[in-house]
Amino acid sequence: MAQKIIIVGGVALGSKAACRFKRLEPDSQVTIIDQDRFVSYGGCGIPFYVSGDVSDVNDLRKTSFHMLRDEAFFRNCKDIEVLTETRAERIDRQNKQIHIRRLDGTADTLDYDQLVLGTGSRPRCLMIPGADLPMVHTSANLNDAQAIKELVTKGRVERAVIIGGGFIGLEMAEALADMWEVDTTVVEYFDQIMPGFVGPQFARMAQRQMEKHGVRFFLNEEVKAIEGTDSVEAVVTDKRRLQADLVIIAIGATPNVELARESGLRLGPTGAIAVDEHMRTSDPAIYSGGDCAEIRNLVTGQPGYFPLGSMANRQGRVIGTNLAGGSAEFRGAVGSFVVKTFEAALAGTGLSLERARRAGFDAVSVQVAQLDRAHFYPDKAMIHLELVVEKKSRRILGIQGFGEEGDAVVGRINMVAAMLEDRPTIDRLSNVELAYSPPFSSAMDVLNALANTAENMLDGRYQPIDADGFAEKWVHGNGNLLILDCRARQDGESFAKKYPDRWINIPQDELRQRLAEIPADKDLILLCNTGVRSYEAQLNLRNMGIADPVSVQGGIVTLGKCGLDL
């Protein structure tokens, strides 16, 4: 029997669910309701439209075969009715009706057999003076995108302040600073960018990459007010006053759940709509997904909130299948992400070390730096990875990466993301089979090396110190500190001459012959380019009776990326 399906929200989840369902039940009636004038667009492309990488805003609304996804497209190509600039005001669950109001003020009541809520999210607001001034924007939809793009293309923006150092904040900072050469500053409340998603060292790598292109950062600062009369003039924090012509607020998203709450649907502990594995709400006739819904975190097993466009599309397909009587499942997510930082990429999946410990895991992390391709291949770049593992079980909880070849970084992150639901241990990653050819990877891929390093650490063979630990000892350590540089003379000798009281250079292959030159009473730190030779030195020294030296994770390459100028 033909059904009447109503879908509230037509950006990612709603349009995907509608199209999937109509392919399965072409005789049923589907209506999409959206309060905006645009539907079915690539919202994650907004920063790249502002930057100029995407020249036409309608490119974000087109299919891969260049058809504009507007009301006529859905009506003619999909047999789906789309009501734009129409607000869903109330759900009458008992009578299976939804009350709507159009922009012109007219109201109507629509019957449904099944209902989908894809109401999305909205940007978090700052409740501070001046937040409602002209030239204060978010970047939540195409209307915002067009407004910001018009301002910069007309030369009305010389100085921009972005409040928030997360995904959107970083992408918008690059968009303004790169193509338009806007003097751009990011203000972040926490003491690092991408808080919770990556550790402090990887955050600094990404921050320094952006600083090279002129983006300024002020961390651990609270925005108190936005000043201006007829427009924005300055942003005031608890530490400074920043002049600005444009302010973009990017401090996260809040799920739009008012319609669900008022209709009595159950909300989860994250504040989003609770759904089961079939994306069904507490009402069996109502489904939900995307930015307004809560799903299971497949690493912690707890409810999670993942407002990501790619996830909304996949959930939409599951919902479309189930509207037609299927039993498709969406079991949850591990939280994979990537953000572009000019020529580099910062990516991750699963839990950072901080979040793992906060979730109750006895977790540790280990880092490696390695070339993303065979060392003898001419085109190659360094990739930095951090693996988060549970000590006792050796279960992998997450991974983060940074590198100049974004595809190489994302490829490694995605490999681990595909495993996480199965609760893999480091043994599995150590022996995971990956496609190999010198132009694409190393014979022992960086992922294999990362797992092996974690195993060596957990087995007690490898005693690492990270960049922050090294910096603390280097800056604040006592006179007992000694750096043993295991690199070749042409690399290490200059440092030994620069710091004669704290640095000696003994190449790793000469250690056995020159053991007498290593003082036994020093706080010894072993260092090489990426950490491989210093680990070998650690094993050799331990075998020769020097048991306490630590080895710098990722070597001097990682120290430099983290901003330690030696």
510 contacts: CB under 8 Å, gap ≥ 6: none
Residues 6+ apart with CB under 8 A from 333: 295, 296, 297, 298, 304, 306, 308, 311
Query: Interior CA angle at 415 toward 331 and 321, to 5°?
Result: 30
User: What residues contact 505, with CB distance under 8 A and at least 6 apart?
Assistant: 485, 487, 489, 492, 493, 495, 496
Could you say which of 19, 44, 125, 292 is catalytic? 44
Answer yes or no: 528 catalytic: no
N-to-C CA span, the chain = 74
Environment class of 269 (CB within 10 Å of its CB; exposed 0-12, middle 13-18, buried 19+): exposed
H or E element in which residue 410 lies: helix 406-420
3-class DSSP state of 344: strand
390, two tokens: 């549970």
- 459's CB contacts (< 8 A; 6+ apart) are none
Residue 476 near residue 497 (C-beta atoms within 8 A):
no
Radius of gyration of the chain from its Cα atoms, rounded to whole angstroms: 27
CB contact at 8 A, 145 and 50? yes
- Rounded to whole angstroms, how far apart are CA atoms 311 and 122? 17
Q: What is the DSSP string of 292-319?
A: GEEEEBTTT-SEE----HHHHHHHHHHH
Active site amino acids:
44
